[in-house]
Structures are given as C-alpha cells and as structure tokens.
Amino acid sequence: MKLNHKLTLSLLTVGILASACSQSNVKKEGDTSSQPVITDEFIKENIDFSVNQYQHLSTLVPEDKLPKTYIKDEDKFVTSGTSWWTSGFYPGTLLYLYEMSGDSSMLRLAEQKLEILEKEKNNEGTHDLGFMLFCSFGNAYRITGNEHYKNVMLQGAASLATRFHPETGLIKSWDHGSWKYPVIIDNMMNLEFLFWASEASGDDKYRNINISHADSTIKNHFRDDYSSYHVVDYDPTTGKVVDKKTHQGKADDSAWARGQSWGLYGYIVMYRDTKNPVYLDQAENIAAFILDHPNMPEDMVPYWDYDAPASDTTFRDASAAALNASALLELSKYTEDKAKAEKYVSAAEKTIISLSSDKYRAKLGQNGGFILLHSVGSLPHDSEVDVPLTYADYYYIEALKRYQDWFLD
Ligand code: GLY
C-alpha cells in the first residue's frame, strides 16, 4: 500500500524523533518555530568526531593507497590504488573536514594523497575522473587557489573528454565486459567536473558534451516513474540502444538505490550549470520517486534497492542516503514551489539526523576509522555488503557542510 505523502511525513517525524530522542538539536513535536532542526552544535559535534575518526583512519592507510572500506568480520582494512573510481573521496573528505574544522592536519593528509593521485590526470581508461579528480583536486583548488591543481584538473578533463564519441553523443562508461558501449547512470556524476573545465578553460566543448550526455540519458535511462536503469548499452556506430540492464541492482527493471541518487544529484548539477528547466523538472521527478516510494524506511536510509523487500533483514545503503541528503539540500534552493522546497529540506534533515545517530555513525576508533556504517557496494557480486564506504563518508560530510553553509547563520 502506498502511504499518502502527509501521512508518510508524519510517520517519518515520529520515527525520527523516537530514534533520535536523546539529541537536543531535534525539534519537539508540535514546535512550529523557525529554529533549524540541525544546529551549529550538532554539526560541530559530528565534524569533531569525524576529524578524530579520520586521524585514526589515516594511521591505517599505506602511503601509496587510498581507503575503500573495512570488513569487520575479518578485521580487514581494504584499500585501492589511485586508478580505482573511489580514489578521490578520501582526500575530498579530508579537505571538507579541514574547511569545517580548521584542523591543518586534515589538509596535510589530503595533500599527501593528491601527490599520488595526480597521475590519474592522464587516465583515459575510466569515466570516473570526475569522482577521482574533482572531489579531490577540485576541493583543493577551491580552498587553496593553487594553480597547479587547476592544471591537473584541466588535463584530467581533457582525458575524460576522449571518452565522448559523437556517434553516440555519450561518454562511454566502461571498457570491460561484453558490453558494446555501456553508459551507467553513475556517469551523470562526472559532468560537474566538465562544467568546471568549460568555465576554467573557456572551451564550450565540455559543456556541450554534458548537455548531449544528459539529454540522451533522460531519453534512454529513465522509466515512466522516473526510476532509472543502471546500464544502457549502445551500438557504438549508430548510437541506438542495444540493451538495458542492471549491474549492481536487484534486477534489470529494479531501482538500484544508489543509482537513483546518482541521477538525482547529476540532474541538479545540470540545472545548476545550465538553468534549463528540463533538468530541474527531471531532478524533481527523481526526488519524488525517491521520497514518495512506499519502501522508503522511516529513517530515510533506503534499502539497497527500492525493489528489495522492505524488511528488517534487507540491507540499507547509507551511501545513497548521504547522497540524497546532499542533493536535496541543493534542490531546495532551485525549486520555486515552497512546499516542495520544504519537503526536500525536511527529508534531508531527517536523513542527516539518522546518519548521525548511533545506528549509522560508528564509534570512535572502530569501523576501520570510517565515519558511517551500513552501506552496500554491490550486493549481486557479494561485494562490500553492509560495510562503511569512503564515498558514503564524503557525501555525508558534504551534506553537513551544505547545511551549515546554506541553512545556518
Ligand atoms: N559508481 C559505482 C557505484 O556506485 O557503486
């Protein structure tokens, strides 16, 4: 049964208030004052914790590696080399933490990782250079103004653009597998990097790539209810769709939770940088799919796939929740419909409060030094199931930063 929205929201409020009742920052039921639900103190407590937690994490990461996850049962800290798609999130999180805490040890740790990451600027074998270089060098350049970081990113953007082919009008995601020309919904996240590159270089090429990619993705990735397929495979010579499949979701026609979040975030960025209302509409429709979904749990941390059974034994994905929170805060700034804006902020607040509660936030010194528990990498591959993930931490801290920057004085 699908709950109507008002009922869903009041149930959510009751659920969240119950689970977070020990936190003084939470509004009392019936409190209609305009005090923010999340306070400066709440954010500071979470940032102080995260700085301490990342100090610990930094002691576990070998010099030439980046952290990926931690497997509790095996007490195994898992890392990657620089060419793995998640390599930019750790330095990116450190940079957000530096900005929010002023703790210069966070900056120093980030700078050490930027040194080993720089070589990826020449990597033409991945579509993930946005994640890898914009979350890391992008934040570093924004914070420090160091021109070297700008040059690294311009080279990286040129490498990413080699994966765009006019025959399909899309950036190719993967070179592996038996796919012809696979494009995954995740790829929407790399467009932010290319918008930056157009602005920084004065070359419209990158911006045009983004518009072409995003328009084809609207056409071919989305279903009537605005959920999305994970992988669309194209014929590389004609650009015709060959197949629509999943890779990390429950089924080809299911709604893999993180995929929905990648799409939401991606179309918000498209609107931010073009002001084309088609993209705002797309983002709002994706948000409606997520927020009104009958399987969305009361605490707003989605099950790993919206088509997975809504039950206590179904794994949650804190990474999708963190992405949703960060994305919805931005979406609330663009929508002209006040009720929708309030709905987005309220959902983001509830998500942030849940993720900051004992259920999802690790204890200091545990969880391999990662901040959040309970994410899912790829359940069909039995890989990274119910674990911390470096990108869950990144988007959680980003959501806290956005809330502080945009909603607190
Ligand atoms: N981009 C891969 C993932 O979301 O797992």
Q: Is residue 201 part of a domain?
A: no
Which residues are registered as beta bridge partners of 305?
Answer: 256
Residue labelled with tokens 């933490």 = 97
User: Is the domain of 283 the same as that of 377?
Assistant: yes
**96 and 20 in a common domain:** no
Q: Which two tokens stand for residue 12?
A: 């959510």
What does the pLDDT average to over 283-298? 98
The residue out of 129, 144, 162 marking a domain boundary is 162
Q: Is the pLDDT of residue 65 over 50?
A: yes
Between CA 355 and CA 348 the distance in angstroms is 10
Is 346 assigned to a binding site? no
186 is catalytic: yes
Are 128 and 276 in the same domain? no
pLDDT tens track for 105-127: 999 999 999 999 999 999 999 99
What CATH number does the domain containing 293 carry? 1.50.10.10
Do 158 and 288 belong together in one domain? no
Which of 173, 189, 262, when mutated, tests ligand 1's pocket best, judged by the most ligand atoms within 8 Å of its CB?
262
Question: What's the domain range around 369?
Answer: 11-71+246-407
| Residue 32 resides in a domain | yes
- What is the CA(247)–ligand 1 centre distance, in A? 10
Residues 288 and 360 in one domain: yes
Mean residue pLDDT of the chain comes to: 92
In a domain? residue 357: yes
Report whether 349 contacts 343 (CB < 8 A): no
pLDDT of 37:
83
Query: Distance between CA atoms of 18 and 116, rounded to whole angstroms?
Result: 45
pLDDT at 3 over 70: no
Q: Are 67 and 90 in contact (CB under 8 A)?
A: yes
258 lines ligand 1 (CB under 6 A): yes
- Whole-angstrom Cα distance, residue 332 to residue 330? 5
Give the helix/strand (H/E) hosting 164: strand 164-165
Q: How far is the CA of 148 from the centre of ligand 1 (A)?
A: 29
Which atom from ligand 1 is nearest to the alpha carbon of 128? 1
Q: Is 128 a catalytic residue?
A: yes
Ligand 1 pocket: which of 85, 86, 187 to mutate (most atoms within 8 A of CB): 85
Asked if residue 258 belongs to a known ligand binding site, the reply is yes
Q: Are residues 399 and 269 in the same domain?
A: yes
**pLDDT score, position 4:** 33
φ, ψ for residue 256, nearest 5 deg: -60, 125
Beta strands 231-234 and 182-184, pairing class: antiparallel
Domain membership flag for residue 338: yes
Same domain? 258 vs 307: yes
Residues 40 and 370: their CA atoms lie apart, in Å, by 22
Do residues 287 and 374 share a domain? yes
Domain finish residue from 162, 186, 214: 162
End-to-end CA distance of the chain: 41
Residue position matching structure tokens 């179309």: 267
Does this model's pTM top 0.85? yes
The verdict on the CB of residue 401 being under 6 Å from ligand 1 is no
| 146 and 253 co-located in one domain | no
Asked if 269 contacts 213 with a C-beta cutoff of 8 angstroms, the reply is: no
- Where does a domain end: 124, 145, 162? 162
- Number of domains making up the chain: 2
Q: Are residues 125 and 270 in the same domain?
A: no
Identified catalytic residue from 64, 75, 128, 175 = 128
Same domain, 26 and 99: no
Whether residues 386 and 262 share a domain: the answer is: yes
Please name the residue whose Cα sits nearest to atom 2 of ligand 1.
Answer: 186
Confidence of residue 22 (pLDDT cuts 50, 70, 90): very low
Residue 221 to residues 241, 250, 255, 260: CA-CA distances in angstroms? 10, 16, 11, 11
